[in-house]
Structure 1
Amino acid sequence: MNKKYETEEQKFAQGCGFYKLCWIFIIGGILGCFIETIWCRFALGYWMGRSSNAFFPISIIWGIGFALFSVILHKDKDTSFWKLFIKGYLCGSALEFSCSWLCEKVLHMTFWSYAHLPLNIGGRISLIFSVLWGTVAIIWGKWGYPMISWIIEKIPRKKGKILTWVVTGYLGITTVVTGFGLIRMTQRHEEKPVSTICDRYLDHYLPDQVLKKVFPKMRFVE
């Protein structure tokens, strides 16, 4: 009994804690980025990058969404479809609305708009995509989370911790750099001159043409 207990204790990322949520954020963000890219290819007829990071294909909103769903749904495998749907519908809509509002207030930019779709709220969320969030919650709560959780726990504990910090460190740094690049892009749009050495580096390595390829749907809020 003690041996079994010790073996369980040595598992990597048990429960729904920091390490597991880090990997769910990463996996969900990458998966969401590729899903949106493929959807754009078939829905719009051309390829479009949907990453939130200028250095790595990952969608922050999808990553946060999957991590959030994991926190609120990890004990809901046997919950009814309708309860899962409602939780996903409300939480996903709130997340998408909040991210849109935050980007507009902090960066003075929008990265998507549902203004052309029926039953939208300020172009930030729409009924169609809120229903999609609810559907994703059903799939994630019933099958996705249990499977991904099992796979993550198979990673060797020591290697898993090291790899987590390396990958999250890289993503954290590159996401911050991308964020500063977008802030500097707004400053260029407002015709603000270079004032620091960081501005000079950002202008050189993350000019408008690079960021427009990463964020093709980005628009300035006047």
Structure 2
Amino acid sequence: METVATTQRNETSSTSINAPLLFWLFVIGSIAGLLVETVYHAIVFGGYESRAGLVWGPFSPIYGTGAVILTIVANRFSNSNAIAVFLISALVGSAVEFATSWLMEALFGAIAWDYSGTLGNIDGRVNLAFALMWGALGLIWTRIVTPRIARASCRIDWRSTAVRAASILGAVFMVVNIAITIQAFARESARADDLPAASPIDHFLDQQFPSTWMQEHFENMSICGSGLRPR
């Protein structure tokens, strides 16, 4: 008789991956990751801090991206043992975190975290402690969350008009949300460099997302303009 763990792995391996499912996994991962990070900060450092990653909604796209990649990995390595899944998740999460940190700093001079001086850090962008956390989160996601999503997904008619419409509308909103967020970061970086508004879009961003709002909404992030920190 198969064990529960083996059954769950088989369910995971049979998950039908499609674009709408991956999108909703991105949304779920973005919300769940933001919740976990907010609770972690409250416990470790005390008090609430806004950890949002987009201008609209409770989303942290770094976790959404990690959730999508880990789901694909779970399908590929579903029969691997827990240690292998843990290590793969730690590697995937650390790679996403490193790439996000580098891009944010290279594009906008933005610093959301700096692990310099901590054990096992690489360029201050990842460290051993958070790699282990990514491993734990990935193990939970692939062994506990993904099998349940697989069962729920089998009961959804992904070709129905309602599901397609909801997925398209949600995707359009998220694309616009990400695009506006990138523009807001770029404009905040320009303001840090004392560059005046040069277009109607700049004026719109200055009115809707001024520096005070950006600092409150992205409370854990410093946007310093084009002058990147020395490493």
Give the TM-score normalised by structure 2: 0.86
Match of 1:21, as an amino acid?
L
Alignment of 1:104-115 (within 5 A): 104-115=105-116
Aligned match of 1:3: none
Residue 167 (structure 2) pairs with residue 164 (structure 1): yes
The answer as to 2:135 corresponding to 1:143 is no
In structure 2, what residue type is equivalent to 1:20?
L
Segment drifting more, 15-24 vs 74-83: 74-83
Tell me if the contact between 2:50 and 2:220 (Cα under 8 Å) persists in the aligned partners. Answer: no
| Bigger Cα displacement from structure 2, 151-160 vs 166-175 | 151-160
Which of 173, 177, 187 aligns to 2:176? It is 173
1: CA distance, partners of 2:28 / 2:150 = 11
Superposition map of 1:187-202 within 5 A:
187-202=190-205
Secondary structure of the equivalent of 1:77?
coil
The separation in 1 between residues aligned to 2:125 and 2:86, in whole angstroms, is 20
Deviations 1:49-76 (A, max 9, x none): 1111111111100000000001111243
8 Å CA contact 1:76, 1:142 repeated in 2: no
| 1:207 maps to amino acid | P
Distance (whole Å) between structure 2 residues aligned to residue 150 and residue 166 of structure 1: 24
Aligned to 2:219: 216
Match runs of 1:1-222 below 5 Å: 15-157=16-158, 158=160, 159-219=162-222, 220=224, 221-222=228-229
Tell me the distance in 2 between the aligned counterparts of 1:140 and 1:178: 27
The answer on whether the counterparts of 1:76 and 1:141 sit within 8 Å (CA) in structure 2 is no
Find the aligned partners of 2:56 and 2:142 in 1 and give their Cα distance: 31
Q: In the alignment, residue 46 of structure 2 is paired with which amino acid?
A: G
- Structure 2: give runs of 5+ residues left out of the alignment: 1-14
Deviations 1:79-112 (A, max 9, x none): 2011101211111111111111111111111111
Q: Which deviates more, 88-97 or 153-162?
A: 153-162
Aligned residue identity for 1:33: L
- Counting matched residue pairs gives 209
CA distance in 1, matches of 2:74, 2:107: 30
**Aligned equivalents of 1:149, 1:213: Cα separation in 2:** 38
Shift of 1:47: 0.4
Q: TM-score, normalised by structure 1?
A: 0.89
SS of 2:113's partner is: coil
Query: Cα distance 1:173–1:202, how it changes in 2: closer, same or farther (>3 A)?
Result: same
Q: Aligned equivalents of 1:21 and 1:153: distance in 2?
A: 14
